[in-house]
């Protein structure tokens, strides 16, 4: 692949983030395709670890003011520099209209961050590309209007299902200020957004897929022991369904010797650990917390079943197609999940894994079935690996995205002070 050498500004929520390896994988691949990236992060990193993948990114990382009051001089300087351009007042009118419908401090912060980005972005920046349709896309949109620069966005899961409809419509329909294109990583998300767009071609389904060069070959055979080893990787939040998984573990047959290892941080950690104690299963559980990619892969290689009991949260938040399922499949680890959102786009129940309802009794039945049938686990794992390598590798999606970004970047003039 070849690409333009004009700068592409990329807006992300935070960098680096352990839970967003799909973004890091994509950005590294875009650099390798020839794109010169500038990374603009709305927040400072909070994770104490980094994936090796993060260190492969060559782009300069710039941190916008996380809260405007923390860098008032920088914000004021940016406003003064940009306010003499017509684009500033166009963006200000757009922002005021949004603020009337969303009168929050976050909305104010978005415009302040956009002013800083517009003022500090290199002159030869040809386009802006944001990850996530909510806050990052708003900052990208306001910045693009100020600078007269085209912008695009990649939408994923929470940003699709919890953003207000008016905002999604305007980002997808406004001929002057809307996104040139939107890439989304699931068929179910693409269909939803295409219904909101003014033209279906503005929304394109681009699966993240997996870069198998980052992973070791799957183990030839898994060690056979009397203990069944379950593994989950995911943030401890409502939509991951770990509360119901704990209830399911408590319903497993008394004679089944099992262990569960969990990797990931999250706001519900204390609550879930207390739930495990109350259910009397805490001694069978290892809470690993946040881990880097090599630690995750090591855990996958020594486990028997990967469990991700996703569900729709009370606020509508849900998973898209979690990359961690593909990562587990890369190590020929048997998959147990739920038919939520785009998960069935990768896993066909009974063929590439097991899709259970999210009721604890149903999950428990699926856990027991897989625990007692190693031949079934092996067959499902082999099929999931074949599915991954045939249809869900990274390279086709990167080619799609590279073509759309190149098209957007052509013939863009430099900004004049």
**Tens-place pLDDT, residues 260-295:** 999 999 999 999 999 999 999 999 999 999 999 999
Look up residue 349 and give its DSSP letter: B
CA distance 317 to 249: 24
CB 117 within 8 A of CB 87: no
Helix ranges restricted to H, 18-104: 21-32, 52-56, 72-82, 86-101
Domain boundaries along the sequence of the chain = 7-209+394-409, 213-391
Residue 19: the pLDDT is: 85
Q: Are 370 and 317 in contact (CB under 8 A)?
A: no
Domain 7-209+394-409 class in CATH? alpha beta
For residue 3, pLDDT over 70 is answered with no
Distances (CA, A) of 237 to 25, 80, 297: 23, 41, 22
Residue pair 389/210 in contact by the 8 Å Cβ criterion: no
pLDDT tens-digit series, residues 199-220:
888 999 999 999 999 999 999 8
**Residue 301 pLDDT > 90, yes or no?**
yes
pLDDT tens string 305-318: 999 999 999 999 99
DSSP assignment letter at 23: H
pLDDT band, very low/low/confident/very high, at 417 (cuts 50, 70, 90): very low
User: 213-391: which CATH architecture?
Assistant: 3-Layer(aba) Sandwich (3.40)
For range 305-332, the mean pLDDT: 95
Query: Pairing relation of β-strands 182-184 and 354-355?
Result: unpaired
Nearest to 318 by CA among 296, 295, 342: 342
Same topology, domains 7-209+394-409 and 213-391? Answer is yes
- Which 3 state secondary structure label does DSSP give 43? strand
Identify the CA nearest to 12 among candidates 49, 39, 44. 39
């Amino acid at each position: 692949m070849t690409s333009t050498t004009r700068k592409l500004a990329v807006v992300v929520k935070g960098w680096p983030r352990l839970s967003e390896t799909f973004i890091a994988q994509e950005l590294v691949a875009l650099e390798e395709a020839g794109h010169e990236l500038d990374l603009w992060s709305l927040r400072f990193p909070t994770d104490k670890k980094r994936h090796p993948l993060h260190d492969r990114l060559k782009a300069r990382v710039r941190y916008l003011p996380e809260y405007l009051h923390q860098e008032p001089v920088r914000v004021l300087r940016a406003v003064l520099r940009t306010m003499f351009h017509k684009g500033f007042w166009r963006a200000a009118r757009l922002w005021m209209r949004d603020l009337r419908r969303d009168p929050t401090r976050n909305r104010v912060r978005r415009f302040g961050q956009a002013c800083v980005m517009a003022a500090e972005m290199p002159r030869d920046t040809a386009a802006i590309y944001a990850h996530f349709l909510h806050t990052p896309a708003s900052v990208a949109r306001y910045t693009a209007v100020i600078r007269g620069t085209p912008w695009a966005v990649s939408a994923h899961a929470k940003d699709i299902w919890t953003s207000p409809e008016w905002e999604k419509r305007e980002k997808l329909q406004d001929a002057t200020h809307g996104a040139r294109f939107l890439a989304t990583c699931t068929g179910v998300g693409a269909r939803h957004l295409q219904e909101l767009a003014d033209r279906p071609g503005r929304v394109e389904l681009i699966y993240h897929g997996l870069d198998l060069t980052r992973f070791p070959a799957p183990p030839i055979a898994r060690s056979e022991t009397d203990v069944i080893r379950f593994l989950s990787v995911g943030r401890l939040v409502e939509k991951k369904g770990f509360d119901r998984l704990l209830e399911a573990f408590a319903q497993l047959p008394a004679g089944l010797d099992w262990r569960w290892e969990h990797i990931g941080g999250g706001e519900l950690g204390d609550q879930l650990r207390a739930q495990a104690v109350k259910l009397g299963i805490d001694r069978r559980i290892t809470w690993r917390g946040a881990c880097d990619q090599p630690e995750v892969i090591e855990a996958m290689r020594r486990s028997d079943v990967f469990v991700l009991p996703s569900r729709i949260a009370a606020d509508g938040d849900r998973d898209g197609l979690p990359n961690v399922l593909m990562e587990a499949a890369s190590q020929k680890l048997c998959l147990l999940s739920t038919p939520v959102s785009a998960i069935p786009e990768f896993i066909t129940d009974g063929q590439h894994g097991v899709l259970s309802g999210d009721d604890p009794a149903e999950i428990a039945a699926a856990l027991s079935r897989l625990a007692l049938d190693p031949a079934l686990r092996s067959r499902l794992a082999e099929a999931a690996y074949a599915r991954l390598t045939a249809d869900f590798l990274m390279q086709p999606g990167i080619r799609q995205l590279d073509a759309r970004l190149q098209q957007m970047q052509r013939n863009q003039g430099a900004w004049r002070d």
